Structure 1
Amino acid sequence: MDLTERIERRRTRSSRNELVVDRDSLNPAVHLSEPVGREALFEAFLNAIDPLFDRAVPPNTYVWGPKGAGKSAIVTALLSALESEMSGTDPFYTATRGASDHPEVRFVYLNARRARSRFQVYRELLDDLLVESVPERGVSTETLRGRIESVTSKSESILVAVDHLGEPTTVDLADLYSFFESFENLAWIGVGRTPPEELSFPMPEQQISVPAYTHELVDVLTVRGSRGLSHTLDHGHAQRIAEWADGDAHDALAALFVAASTAEADGSTRVRDADVDAGIAAVPTGGVPIGRVLTLSQNEQQVVEQLLALSLDDEVRIEDAAGRIADRTDLTDATVKRLLYELAQFGVLERREVPVGARITGRKPSGVGLNFSAQLFTALTDG
C-alpha cells in the first residue's frame, strides 16, 4: 500500500462508519499480488526457472512447506508476474489454428483441490491455454491429452504450477510425472506439504523449502489489516494473533477475519481485545484451510451448510444427523451418511464421541464436529 492510498483511506473512513473495508485483504483464501514477508524466497524460485529467461524449458520443481507458510501466495504471485512480463498479449492457440505467429512462454496455475483427476487436470490446463472453452463432459481423457500434445509441441515453453498436492482428495507428485511426462516444452512446479524425505516418489531435480513464518507474520497481519480495516490494526493485537498462530498465516488471518467481523457486528469501528479472543477461539488448532472447504463439491457443501443451519455439530449421532439433513435436501439419507463419513475421513469434519446414558455398553456412538471456523465459512459463503 503506497502513501497516497494510506492517506485516502484515512480521509474517507469517517464518512463510511464501517470497520471492514476490504474483505479480500483479510480473507486467508485470497493471496496478495505481492506477498508480505516472503521476498527472499522469490530469488530461489527465479533461480529454479532461470532457463525460461534464455527461452529454454526449466527442470521440474517440488515446493514444500507446512500449512500457512505462504507457498500458494508465492507461487500465484510469481506466475502472475511472469505472465504479465513474459507472455504475449494475443491469444495463444485455437483448436483450428495450430502454431501462433509468435510462440510465447505461458504460465498456468492449477488448484488440485478442484482438478482432482487426470481428466480434470488436462481440461483445466487446456481451458487456460485455448481461446475457446473446453467441454466438461462428452470428451475422453485421451482426446484432451492429444490436444495438449499438439499445443505443447508447437509452443516455446509452458510452465504449469499444480498446488495442494498430496491432500486426501488431490493428486500427488507421482501423478504429475504420469500426467505431464509425454508433453514437449512443458515443465511443472508441484506444491505440497510433505518433505521430500517422506515421499517414496522420484524427486524432481529441484526442490524449494518454504519454512513457517516467524517474526514476519506480524507484518503479514499488519499489512493486510491496514488494507482490510478502516482503522489500523493495533500492533499488540497483531502480535498476539501471530504468537497464537505459531507461524501459520492461514490461521492468523482467519482469526483476524473473525475478530473484525465480530467487532463490526457489535457496532465497533475498531478491533478490541474481546474480538481478538473471539477470533482465536473460532479457529480450531490443526484445522483444515478454509480454501479446502470452499472447494468441496456442491453436495458436500450442502451437507456442511445443513450441519451449521441445524446446529448438528458434535452432539448428534451421525445417523441422526444424516436423516435430518436428508429431510431438508434432495439427497438421500444414505448419501448424506456417506458424505459425513467421507468428510470426516478427509479431515474437513472430525469424528467425536456423542454423550450417552450410563446404561449404554459397547462402542459409543459418534457424531461429527467441524474442523474449520464456522464463523469464517458462514461469512465467506453468505457474501
Structure 2
Amino acid sequence: MGRTPAAPAAITQSSPQEYVLSGAWTAQGIGAVTPQLDALTTPAGQELVVDGARIEALDTAGAWVLQKFLHRLEDDAKGVRLRALRPEFGRLLEAIRQQMADQERTLAVPAIASTTPLERLGRHFEAPLQQGFALLSFVGECALALGGCIAQPTRLRWRPILYNIRSAGFDALPIVGMLSFLLGVVVAYQGAGQLRQYGANIFVADLVGLSILREFAPLITAIIVAGRSGSAYAAQIGTMSVTEEIDAMRTLGIAPLDLLVLPKLLALLIVLPLLTVFADALGVFGGMIMARTQLGVGFGDFLDRFVKAISVTAYLLGVGKAPVFAAIIAVVGCFQGFRTRGGADSVGRQTTRAVVQSIFLVIVADALFSVAFSALDL
C-alpha cells in the first residue's frame, strides 16, 4: 500500500495566545495557508505559543514562510515560543533564519560617517575619473582593432561601413544644409549693422568666410552628427548589450569592436569632412544672400572679396578639425553603449550621456584647436 499523502499546510488559533500548525509545509502544500497567515490577528504585548507537533513535512519553501510568520509575531508580541517541533525541522528552520539574517545585513545601508570637505570632494570626482580612465582604455582597444584591420584589410566589413556612410552622411545632408544656411544668414545679419556704420559693407565677405569656414561649419556639423548618429550608436549598442547579443557575438568568436565600432568610426571619418564642406558652401551662400539684401553687396563683389580674403589655409583648418570631431563622436557613442547595464532605462541614460559628452568634448577640442592655431599663427 502506498503512503497516504500529507494534508496541506494549515494553521488554527486554539486560543488568542496559541497557534497550532499542521499538514505539509512544503512548496506544494503552503499555497492555501498563505492567505490565512495574512488574515490572522496577533494580540499585542502578550507571550504567544506556536505548536508545531502536527507538522508532517517541511522543506525550505515552507520553512521560509514559517520563519516570516514567526518574525511577524515577534514584532507584535512580547515573546514567541515554538513548541514540539521535530529536531530535523528545527535545524532547517534555524538555517533559514540565519540566511534571512544574513540577507538583512547585506541589504542594510550603512550610515555614512561624517567626512571632511576634501574627502567629499574626492568622492564626488571619483566616478568621473573612473569613467575617464575607462574611456581611455576603450580608445586604446579601438586603436589596436583599427591597427589590426589596417594590417589585415580583409577584416574590414564594407557593408556596415557603407550603411553607416549613408545613415550618418547622406541622410544628414538636409538638416546640416538648412542649419548651416541659417547660420550664415544670422552671421551676416548680425554683422551688417556694424559694418554699415563704418561704410565697410564689403568686409561682410571676410566676416562670413572666416567665421563659417574656420569655426561655425565644422562645429555645427559635429554637434548635429553627435545628436543624430552618436545617440543612435549608443542606443543600438546599448540595446544589444541589454539583450545579451554582444555576449553571444563573443561566444561565436566575433569581435564586437570589429563589427560594431570600426564601421561606425571609419564611416564618420569619411563623411564628417564631406559634410563640413557642404556646410561651408551653404553657410557662405546664406551669408551672400543676406549681404545682398542688407548691405547691397552683389554676388560678384562678394565672391571677388571672398577669394582675396579667405586663404586655402583657413579652409583646410576648418575641414581638418572634422576627422578629430568624428573620432570623438564615434568613440564616445560606442563607449557609452557598451557601458549599458540593466534595462531600457539604462539605454536611455547612456544615450543621453553619449550626446552630452560628445558635444562637450567636441567643443573642448575646438577650443584647443583655436589655442593651438593662435600659438602657431595660423
Higher share in helix? 2
TM > 0.5 between the two?
Answer: no
The normalised TM-score by structure 2 is 0.19
Structure of higher RCO (CA pairs closer than 8 Å, 6+ residues apart)? 1
Larger radius of gyration: 2
After TM superposition, the score normalised by the length of structure 1 is 0.19
